[in-house]
């Protein structure tokens, strides 16, 4: 009787609606989790996009379509937002004949210098594919591409900084490896891809894989290349690490919050692979905060209850960094989340102390998976690190940070109903 009633509710949809019901399923909520994007695998669902588009409905509200977005691939997925706090929910996927409803809130815009992700036509973040030169009079060795800046809060506050005078090689959100060892050309190399002033190596943009936009997310995948300088051939750059960044900005129901995922997949084309040596910083996810945040007007709190003075060399599942901004609420911030699948999770961190930057206490933060132990990247294998940034205006509580982390860390059970 349950499925018969469901069928009746489906066929009573308006004329624009479905031509075919494809599947029904239940999402089982995770206790203590909050809002998160959820993906339903489509590999077992027979559909052809030539015949229409996929539409998603809650079975209790069949007149209102749930915003969803298809990600193509070997295992295609249907993405939508799910709030664990509302409990389990039943959904139906339909093949419909009409066009996608209204233009998406998130768009991707590409310029000569950068890819920009916008929400409701306001920029959220910039990723630079063109090299950015350092300030006039500074050695051009500090130029670079393949980084995010600015990261912008929902209210318009810039949260990142690049090329500060104390560290010209700091670039917003970025993640080169500091101390590496590998074999090439019959000898052993030790290369620092982080500290550009050494002239040993750097990271550069290597090309886009794709751009995507829609009602649920907008983003891109890009190749970032770690290259070193071949001393046998002046100016010649050799590739040591391939990295693919998958950057997605997710829509949320709130105007004060959005979610950014940064996933990186790394491998090495070198025949012997490469070793990331144990070091206090490097790789992972690095964040140089806006210039105005100092020890006087910002705060740090981790999942383990540590404040800024205790954060460096500790481990955490998440880290809140927030401070005063010009937005209406007076504060903006980011919750940095480390996925349980990441190496060394709960992940070690690097955090400048309150006397950093000449006593001003400016903020540099990093999740650092090689802080306590080196990491060998074997030839022919790929490795992944996954991070989430919850970007907000106002102030966020530790309870809310836990909700975001649990939603990120625990995939809900999706149970398809028999047909």
pLDDT in tens, 273-283: 999 999 999 99
What are the pLDDT digits (tens) for 275-318?
999 999 999 999 999 999 999 999 999 999 999 999 999 999 99
The residue-averaged pLDDT of 310-334 equals 98
How confident is the model at residue 4, as a pLDDT?
36
- Mean pLDDT within 182-202: 96
146-176 per-position pLDDT tens digit:
999 999 999 999 999 999 999 999 999 999 9
Task: Spell out the domain ranges in the chain.
Answer: 2-100, 106-408
DSSP summary character for residue 402: H
Kindly provide the residue ranges of all beta strands, DSSP E only, lying in 230-368, ordered along the sequence. Answer: 237-250, 257-267, 274-276, 285-288, 298-302, 315-316, 318-324, 331-338, 347-351, 364-367
Residue 180: enclosing H or E segment and its boundaries? strand 180-184
CATH number of 2-100: 2.60.40
Which residue carries 């015949």 as its tokens? 51
Contact between 388 and 367 under an 8 Å Cβ cutoff? The reply is no
Q: What is the pLDDT of residues 241-264, one digit of tens each?
A: 999 999 999 988 778 899 999 999
- Residue range 29-38: mean pLDDT, rounded: 96
Name the pLDDT band for 11 (thresholds 50, 70, 90). Answer: very low
pLDDT of amino acid 233: 66
Distances (CA, A) of 70 to 38, 80, 86, 93: 12, 9, 24, 12
- Measured CA to CA, the distance from residue 162 to residue 291 in angstroms comes to 9
Check pLDDT > 90 for residue 47: no
Mean pLDDT across the stretch 111-116? 98
Q: Does residue 358 have a pLDDT over 50?
A: yes
Average pLDDT, the chain: 93
In this prediction, residues 180-184 reach a mean pLDDT of 97
Predicted confidence at residue 328, as pLDDT, reads: 97
Given a cut of 50, is residue 141 above it in pLDDT? Answer: yes
What digits encode the pLDDT tens for the residues 217-232? 999 999 999 999 987 6
What pLDDT is stored for residue 9 in this prediction?
40
Q: Which of 90-104, 277-291, 394-408 has the lowest mean pLDDT?
A: 90-104
Can you tell me which residue has the tokens 């990491």? 375
**Domain 106-408 class in CATH:** mainly beta
């Amino acid at each position: 009787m349950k499925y018969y009633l469901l069928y009746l509710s489906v066929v009573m949809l308006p004329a624009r609606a479905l031509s075919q019901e494809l599947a029904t399923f239940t999402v089982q909520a995770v206790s203590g989790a909050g809002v998160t994007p959820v993906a339903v695998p489509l590999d077992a669902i027979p559909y052809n996009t030539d015949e229409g588009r996929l539409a998603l409905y809650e079975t209790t509200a069949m007149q209102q379509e749930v915003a969803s977005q298809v990600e193509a691939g070997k295992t295609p997925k249907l993405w939508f937002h799910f709030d664990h706090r509302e409990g389990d929910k039943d959904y139906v996927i339909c093949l419909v004949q009409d066009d996608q409803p209204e233009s998406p809130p998130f768009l991707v815009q590409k310029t000569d210098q950068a890819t920009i992700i916008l929400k409701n036509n306001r920029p959220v973040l910039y990723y630079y594919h063109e090299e950015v030169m350092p300030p006039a009079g500074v050695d051009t060795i500090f130029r670079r591409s393949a980084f995010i800046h600015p990261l912008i809060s929902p209210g318009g506050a810039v949260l990142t900084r690049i090329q500060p005078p104390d560290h010209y090689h700091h670039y917003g959100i970025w993640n080169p490896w500091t101390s590496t060892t590998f074999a090439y050309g019959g000898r052993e190399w030790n290369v620092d891809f982080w500290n550009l002033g050494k002239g040993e190596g750097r990271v550069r943009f290597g090309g886009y894989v794709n751009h995507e936009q829609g009602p649920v997310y907008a983003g891109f995948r890009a190749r970032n290349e770690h290259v070193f300088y071949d001393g046998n051939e002046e100016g010649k750059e050799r590739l040591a690490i391939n990295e693919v960044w998958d950057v997605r900005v997710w829509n949320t129901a709130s105007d004060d919050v959005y979610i950014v995922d940064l996933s990186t997949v790394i491998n090495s084309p070198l025949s012997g692979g490469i070793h990331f040596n144990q070091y206090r910083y490097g790789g992972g996810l690095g964040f140089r905060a806006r210039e105005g945040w100092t020890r006087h007007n910002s705060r740090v709190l981790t999942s383990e209850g540590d404040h800024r003075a205790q954060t460096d060399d500790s481990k955490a599942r998440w880290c809140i960094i927030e401070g005063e901004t010009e937005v209406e609420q007076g504060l903006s911030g980011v919750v940095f989340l480390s996925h349980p699948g990441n190496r060394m999770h709960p992940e070690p961190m690097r955090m400048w102390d309150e006397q950093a930057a000449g006593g001003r206490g400016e903020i540099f933060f990093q999740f650092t998976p090689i802080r306590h132990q080196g990491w060998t990247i074997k030839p022919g294998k790929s490795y992944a690190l996954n991070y989430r940034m919850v970007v907000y205006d106002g102030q966020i509580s530790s309870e809310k940070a836990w909700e975001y982390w649990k939603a990120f860390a625990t995939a809900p059970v999706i149970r398809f109903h028999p047909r």
